[in-house]
Structure 1
Amino acid sequence: MSSGARIKLYYCAEDTPGTTPSTPVWKTVRRINDGLTENVTTAKSDSVVDTRFRQGGMATESEITGTLEVELSVGLFDEFLSAVAMNDWNSDVLNFGGNTRKTFTFVKVFDDIGQVFIYRGVRFNQATISIQTTGKVSTKFNLMGTDFERASANPVTNPQPVADSVIVSALNVGALTVNGQSVVGTACLQSAELTVNNNLEAIRCIGNQKLSAQTYLEKMVDITLNTSYSFSAQSATYIDYIKTRATMPVHFEIADPKGNKYAFDFPQLEVAEANHPDGGAEDMINVSINYNHIKVSPTITRTLAKTGG
């Protein structure tokens, strides 16, 4: 029997997609769950012989996927955010929609029963950051890989431990403006969900004799920000933007008590959905405004606290 408390997840960056480096730098992942799996498709035989029994089947393809769910801490998952952005951090600024393909090897160890699952060629297709009025900031990464191996020996040696990082919540969100105006106490933001999706498509090639796709091709990057506001004179004006097609900027920051901070800037948000609000006599009325980011890259600017003397 295996316990979830005994699962360990490690990763290293790959130099060649799908190949673990000869001298990898292993790092430990702080995770809630990852859902990494190989989904194998099978096809049954339709041949008829001298009985009515099926003649068996075969594996025809596989997909290696997962959803890595984590508790956000400023600075802890910057390598993963960079992989989603397909860009490197440049002077502590990250731009999305780049062209730098980053792949990783992940090793999942079921420590109490001695099972080792290895996933190679893993790319980060999507990231979602969700903020509610209370609770932790939820973050999920969508993963897609090229190869899976169930191994008898753990290849991970001398993994770097997880940094002592502060988990952030809604209380760590500040400097929030929409159209250059504060919404605190007026439009009163109730929830926000940021999604960056590279729309990776699996490319399969006849002749490589592999069940799983060995290449993923990124398509148009979709960046959305779905929000809910208390319905007010201020938030009512946002509804008009779906017809005018004018863009509005949104800015907010996430800062922890140690002085680490992310500043999120969305300079060109275009309203995609703005349904009219309604509710019963006992309801607080909210309005949902969903945005698409267009033309230019949104950015994350990080400030990391200095440690030591």
Structure 2
Amino acid sequence: MSSGAKQVTRYAVETIPGVIATAGWKTLANISNSLDATAKTAESQTIKDSRIASGTLVTGADFAGDIDTEFAYGIQEDLLELVALNPWKNNVLTFGGTVRKSLTIERAFTDVENYQVFTGGHLNQWVLTIPEDGIVTSKFSVIGMGRKAFTVSQAKTPAAALEATQFTNQNVGNILIDGQKKAGMCATQLDLTIDNTMQIQKCLDFENNISAVLETVMKASGNVTLAWSKNTAELYEKQFLNEPISLSYTLKDGKGNQYELLLPRVLLSAPLPSGGAGDILNTQFTYTVDSVAPTITRIPFIADEGTVGDK
């Protein structure tokens, strides 16, 4: 028997895609981890001297799943790079790059000495969800190239999970449309999905059936729920003209550290609001990124050192 409190997720960037990393291991604090292997089978059609079916044969395996986490400043910078396929430059990360890296991810069931090690892990999707009331979550969807089970951990001297205070709905500010905070457009929910639409390259090679995971078109989309107002009604009209807007918003923690997410050009769609006499009217806008890459900027808090002579 195994306790849920004794499962640990560890990861490290691979030097060679699909080969277990030997250094740089870190522990990832998470809510849940569904990364798993799924065997693919084919049913034998062989006819024998009885009516009993001949069973199935394994024809391959898929390695995929989601890692759900709570989002905080500074704890997932390296993972965001893998989603963006770009490095941070001057505290700005631009999504839609071509710098591909892979991870070894270990699901450690420590109390039963079972260590499931997934290699060639590529971060296909990232979903950032800001609820109306609750903790901001960050979900990474993984596509892998292989898996092996061990009785001892393959994570060499892993660093402990980073400590930081999670963002909540109370940490959201400056939701700007076309660079402005418009009257009456109160946002109550916001999410963003970055999707690298990765594809698996399979080969007829029993030692390397999945030879690569390749990104295709980068897509970004999301939803934002807005109170219905005069300005919201004007925004609603833009969908019929296919007129893009820019959307940006910030997350600021209790220490003053901030992230600013900018989607310079998005297209909208939304229904008219619907509700009864006792309801507050709002509508949910769906947005899709159009042609220009989204960015996330980190703005670390810098303490005011005061003037000369201050005690």
Q: Confirm or deny a common fold (TM above 0.5).
A: yes
Q: Which residue of 2 is the match for residue 258 of structure 1?
A: 255
Secondary structure of the corresponding residue to residue 226 of structure 2: strand
TM-score for the superposition, normalised by structure 2:
0.93
Amino acid at match of 2:291: K
Instruction: Give me the whole-angstrom Cα distance separating, in 2, the residues matched to 1:229 and 1:292.
Output: 16
Report the CA distance between 1:197 and its aligned residue: 0.2
Instruction: Give me the whole-angstrom Cα distance separating, in 1, the residues matched to 2:131 and 2:55.
Output: 51
Does the 8 Å CA contact 1:75/1:304 hold for their aligned counterparts?
A: no
Secondary structure of the corresponding residue to residue 297 of structure 1: coil
Question: Which runs of at least 4 in structure 1 moved beyond 4 Å after TM superposition?
Answer: none
What does 1:2-41 align with in structure 2 at a 5 Å threshold? 2-21=2-21, 23-41=22-40
Q: Aligned pair 1:282/2:249, yes or no? A: no
Report the CA distance between 1:305 and its aligned residue: 4.2
Secondary structure of the corresponding residue to residue 143 of structure 1: strand
Instruction: Give me the whole-angstrom Cα distance separating, in 1, the residues matched to 2:133 and 2:147.
Output: 38
Q: Aligned pair 1:159/2:155, yes or no? A: no
Does the 8 Å CA contact 2:66/2:141 hold for their aligned counterparts?
A: yes
With 86-95 and 279-288 compared, the bigger mean Cα shift is at: 279-288
Does the 8 Å CA contact 2:203/2:209 hold for their aligned counterparts?
A: no
Does the 8 Å CA contact 1:62/1:211 hold for their aligned counterparts?
A: no
Instruction: Give me the whole-angstrom Cα distance separating, in 2, the residues matched to 1:113 and 1:6.
Output: 9
Does the 8 Å CA contact 1:61/1:211 hold for their aligned counterparts?
A: no
Q: Deviations over 1:98-142 (max 9, x none)?
A: 001110001111011111100000000000111122110011110
Instruction: Give me the whole-angstrom Cα distance separating, in 1, the residues matched to 2:250 and 2:7.
Output: 33
Q: Which residue of 1 is the match for residue 308 of structure 2?
A: none
Q: Which residue of 2 is the match for residue 188 of structure 1?
A: 186
Aligned-residue RMSD, C-alpha: 1.7
Q: Which residue of 2 is the match for residue 88 of structure 1?
A: 87
Q: Deviations over 1:28-87 (max 9, x none)?
A: 011111101001111221111111112232101211001010000111011111111110
Instruction: Give me the whole-angstrom Cα distance separating, in 1, the residues matched to 2:302 and 2:273.
Output: 46
* Structure 2, gaps ≥5 residues long: 306-311
Instruction: Give me the whole-angstrom Cα distance separating, in 2, the residues matched to 1:268 and 1:260.
Output: 26
Instruction: Give me the whole-angstrom Cα distance separating, in 2, the residues matched to 1:244 and 1:30.
Output: 44
Amino acid at match of 1:279: G
Work out which of the residue numbers 202, 222, 230 in structure 1 matches 2:227: 230
Does the 8 Å CA contact 1:116/1:154 hold for their aligned counterparts?
A: yes
Instruction: Give me the whole-angstrom Cα distance separating, in 2, the residues matched to 1:306 and 1:163.
Output: 20
Secondary structure of the corresponding residue to residue 69 of structure 1: strand
Secondary structure of the corresponding residue to residue 126 of structure 2: strand
Does the 8 Å CA contact 1:267/1:298 hold for their aligned counterparts?
A: yes
Secondary structure of the corresponding residue to residue 251 of structure 1: strand
- Percent identical residues: 28
Does the 8 Å CA contact 1:63/1:212 hold for their aligned counterparts?
A: no
Q: Aligned pair 1:239/2:240, yes or no? A: no
Amino acid at match of 1:129: L
Q: Deviations over 1:158-192 (max 9, x none)?
A: 21112221111011111221122214x61111111
Report the CA distance between 1:306 and its aligned residue: 6.4
TM-score for the superposition, normalised by structure 1:
0.94
Q: Which residue of 2 is the match for residue 106 of structure 1?
A: 105
Paired positions, count? 304
What does 1:20-169 align with in structure 2 at a 5 Å threshold? 20-21=20-21, 23-169=22-168
